Structure 1
Amino acid sequence: GGGGGSPFGAFLESFGAVPVGGFNMHKLLAGGEVVLLYPGGAREAFKRKDEKYKLLWPERAEFVRMAARFGATIIPFAAVGAEDGVNQVLDGRDLAALPIIGESIRKRASAVPQARRGVSASTSPDLEESFIQPLITLNAPQRFYFVFRAPITTTPDMAGDRAACDALYARVKGEVQGGLDYLLAARERDPYADLGRRLVY
């Protein structure tokens, strides 16, 4: 979503981004717009060092329920490459635990409005949103791999069926995980995955 008035937020909004939240998603779907959603949000964007390509989605299936309300089609999507382009020197936990400056980092992070509130808030401490950007160094440019999985249809009658929404949510997440697994395996077979070979070619 958009960035709440920050320069980076304005940059994202120039590409059509909006602040993340149920209201904006409802408004976009009601208007027949296409919505690109990253269910893992900030928690998944600012991963820890041992979480490469790990899905960190919230427990509740709220976006599936919203999609079903409008009979929207969900297209699972996966990408590989970005997380290999950087090396995490210190992740959010490391930075928050630093002597002297750790407390200041934690205070600044806690002042950022949480995107997930109410029913969307995580009940798992491990999935709580973290707005502490890791300290990184750049690796050699990586080749990016993308895959779109088979479309998944929804119907308005599913919106009121919690069991159906939970099952659909698990299916969507499974499709994304399947896409990641497929791409990681495909990269291992790609003779031009390495930058040096691509440059020579």
Structure 2
Amino acid sequence: MDKLLTTLLLTSILFSTTYAQNHNCSSFAFRNNQIFATCIPLPVLNSVLHWTYYPNNHTVDLAYRHGGVPNTDWVAWGLNIDGTMMIGSQCLVAFRNSSGEIHAYTSPVSSYNTQLAEGALSFNVPRIGAEYSNNEFIIFATLELPAGRTSFSQAWQNGGVSGQVLTAHAQSGDNLRSFGSVDFANGL
């Protein structure tokens, strides 16, 4: 019995250490040497959100990292200003286009049949860009938050690309659990 308990204890420690290393967002080194004040590992889809909130002008610089995906996928992260899930989300999207470049843009989601078409959001996004390396997309953006608020619902996803068309994300498992909340001022 002692050998079994020792094995279980060592396995538990190894798993906890590996999980902590993979999800230690504060030590991640961005290629552009950008540093963010806050970061949180998102609970599903191997994603992390990093940001710095500037209360004087009510903006947020952020980086959304989505790992474990091939460069033939798309990834998206968004705020839902008035709701809690996908419909109404104001998204940042990235994918590799037919020229082989990573294309980042904004897309409002108004229905479940969205193809994440480019479009303006309900708030201003003066800067957006993305990169892909080591099986991870990273979207960088600056958001001008809606007046008087720092807390929102958020959603994030990934799916395939067929030609230049972004196809629907999986309709099961973690893809249906990829939403939550974020408070840019309080770091939650």
Q: Structure 2 length normalisation: TM-score?
A: 0.26
Question: Relative contact order (alpha carbons < 8 A, sep ≥ 6): 1 or 2 greater?
Answer: 1
Point out the structure with max Rg over C-alpha: 1
Compare the two structures and name the one with the higher strand fraction: 2
Q: Structure 1 length normalisation: TM-score?
A: 0.25
